[in-house]
Amino acid sequence: MKNNLYIITNENISQRNDIYKSDNIDMKSIPESLQKLNFEVNLLGRKSRLERSKSINLKKIKIFSNIFSYILALVKTYKNINNNYLIISISPYTFLAIIFLKLFKKKYFIYLRSDGYEEYKSILGFYGPIIYHIMFTILIACRKHLLRKRNGNVVSPSQLNKKWFANQNKKIIESKKLLYVGRMRVEKGIFSLIDILKKSNLNLTIVTPEKKNKIFTISKNISIINFENKNDKIIKFYDEHKIFILPSFTEAHPQVLDEALARNKPVIIFQEISHVIRSRKGIFSTKRNIESLQKTVDYIIQNYQDIQKKIKMNKLPTKEKFIEELKSIILKNK
């Protein structure tokens, strides 16, 4: 007998005929993977006006254009007392969902992928952390510091499978071109990085699932590639670049870091997220200015082979282990 699981998210999901898509890899990976592990997965999300990039292979998906229909659909699920609820991230939509789950005394889990206090601050400024604090309740997180001394479980998010560790490209890459893989969001620091690089000699490739973004004019040393990752073909971009850069203002367990390290590529981050280094080898923290960034790039290039040898010593999390951790947490609390 399968366990009924409702995944509740604030992510925008597009629909064309019977095909549902999201730009967020977790919205594809987590439901699909749990579906294979004896869960009957139902996904509730927000309706997107724009077509998204990643197809979600799931039979039961419902998307809503307003918060009232969203909450009504959730309340209708309460008839079955055996339903499990997994909430991904805290937002005004999911916060209201939590309130109704509490009112009806339903057991639920919250999976946080980043520090909401810092994320809301980067988006809304001074009032962001205040708004987030009002909404903050947690049971599942991907790093201990997100729990803020509250009870919870820690998991290690990952999309890494055997493909990521196979056939590592050993050819010498002469170009110093930097690579960023991710969404075009203020909190991701990508616009800050673009401003830094516009007046530099460093080159940057941006690989994003988003077909439309806010950049209308861009420097010659920065290129944007819209790419929908299917069957892990995004590996080629890691292999074609010498250094990966993650300019985020806030992160907890950024999976792209592990992807870059799995392909034996050094990583540059800025000091705001230096906590993500932990025991990983091959990640370098720098100040958010061109002088410091250039110095770090030069150091990596000069010591490239030695750095790669250290990167190979990393023990990286895998997708299989991550999904098993989520399954165990959900089932042990039934």
Rounded Cα–Cα distance for residues 73 and 62 (Å): 9
Same structural domain, 10 and 153: yes
Share of the chain above pLDDT 90, in %: 39
Same structural domain, 126 and 181: no
Same structural domain, 175 and 229: yes
Same structural domain, 153 and 172: no
Rounded Cα–Cα distance for residues 334 and 320 (Å): 22
pLDDT, residue 44, reads 93
Same structural domain, 184 and 138: no
The 8-class DSSP code of residue 253 comes to S
Our separate counts of H helices and E strands in the chain read: 12, 15
| Residues 264/168, Cβ–Cβ less than 8 Å | yes
pLDDT, residue 131, reads 46
Same structural domain, 153 and 265: no
- What is the domain count for the chain? 2
Same structural domain, 303 and 168: yes
Residue type, 121: K
pLDDT, residue 114, reads 56
- Judged against a pLDDT cut of 90, whether residue 71 lies above it is answered with no
The 8-class DSSP code of residue 48 comes to P
Same structural domain, 148 and 267: no
| Pairing state between β 39-47 and 60-64 | parallel
- Judged against a pLDDT cut of 90, whether residue 171 lies above it is answered with no
Same structural domain, 8 and 153: yes
Expressed as residue numbers, the domain containing 295 is 162-311
Same structural domain, 9 and 73: yes
- C-alpha dihedral sign at 47, 53, 54, 55: positive
Same structural domain, 287 and 325: no
Lowest-confidence segment of 5-19, 124-138, 187-201, 217-231 by average pLDDT: 124-138
pLDDT, residue 139, reads 40
In terms of DSSP H, where are the helices of 127-254? 127-135, 162-165, 190-197, 235-239
- Judged against a pLDDT cut of 70, whether residue 273 lies above it is answered with yes
Rounded Cα–Cα distance for residues 16 and 50 (Å): 10
Same structural domain, 126 and 209: no
**CATH code where residue 185 lies:** 3.40.50.2000
pTM for this entry: 0.72
pLDDT, residue 311, reads 96
- Judged against a pLDDT cut of 70, whether residue 140 lies above it is answered with no
Rounded Cα–Cα distance for residues 288 and 32 (Å): 37
3-state secondary structure of 240: coil
Number of residues in the chain: 334
7-to-28, 51, 250 alpha-carbon distances in Å: 11, 21, 24
- Mean of the per-residue pLDDT values for the chain? 83
The C-alpha R_g of the chain, in whole angstroms, comes to 20
- Judged against a pLDDT cut of 50, whether residue 83 lies above it is answered with yes
